[in-house]
Amino acid sequence: MFLSSWELFLQLSATYLRNTILPLVENRRTQYNVIEDLVWKLLSHVHDRNTVGNLLEERKGTMQQHSSEESVLNIQMENCIQDCLNSHTVCLDTAMSVLQKGNEFADAVRTMLDCSELCATAAHFMIRNSPLYGYVCQACADVCTHCAEVCAEIGENDCANACRASAASCQQMVKMIG
């Protein structure tokens, strides 16, 4: 059976997540839930869900409870990851849409693409629980705030709102770990 390039990409992504990311969060219940949600989103088109489901259930069985302070941080991190991934998608989609309008918005498009990349990077740092994610979150908050202003100026309010939400979440993460 031949797989489409999209299905192959999804299977490779699932393998990467299973072999690289999941072991990093073995003792983190909330982070595990974030990874699990991402895996299911990536695998929405893959046919063998039972195998992935069994793997995720095995991991879930090994998780341990954390103190309420860690739980609050983990919930905030999960929200921040979702806001960053949403901003990444909205900025990228908006940049492609604005690009169709012509070259007069080239600077705005560059800003949206930069914001999109940094949002994805911040989400990836948090998913990996990198000890440096606070620095990336601060940069992401600053860039998202700037991008929100740029998007509001050109009337792209959906993008501006997504960037504001991401900036607020990232700023909250910085406060919580600082």
Q: Are 43 and 14 in contact (CB under 8 A)?
A: yes
Say yes or no: 43 and 79 in one domain: no
Global pTM value: 0.63
Both 43 and 131 in one domain: the answer is no
Residues 95, 162, single domain; the answer is yes
The C-alpha R_g of the chain, in whole angstroms, comes to 18
Show which of 22, 43, 61 is a domain's final residue. 61
Which pLDDT score is estimated for 114? Answer: 96
Residue 63's pLDDT is what?
41
pLDDT for the residue 61: 46
How high is the pLDDT of residue 89? 95
Number of folded domains in the chain? Answer: 2
Three-state SS for 142-156 is: HHHHHHHHHHHHCCC
Domain region containing 126: 68-177
Among 61, 79, 98, which residue terminates a domain? 61
Tell me, yes or no, whether 85 and 156 share the same domain.
Answer: yes
Task: Identify the pLDDT of residue 41.
Answer: 54
Please choose, from the candidates 124, 104, 111, 125, the residue with its C-alpha nearest in 3D space to the C-alpha of residue 163.
111
Judge if 94 and 30 occupy the same domain: no
Burial 108-126 (b: 16+ CB within 10 A, else e): bbebbbebbebbbbbbbbb
What pLDDT tens digit does each residue of the chain (178 aa) get? 555 665 656 666 666 556 655 555 444 445 555 555 555 555 544 444 455 455 445 444 434 444 566 677 788 999 999 999 999 999 999 999 998 888 889 999 999 999 999 999 999 999 998 999 999 999 999 999 999 999 999 999 999 999 999 999 999 999 988 7
Alpha carbon 23 to its chain centroid, in Å, reads 18
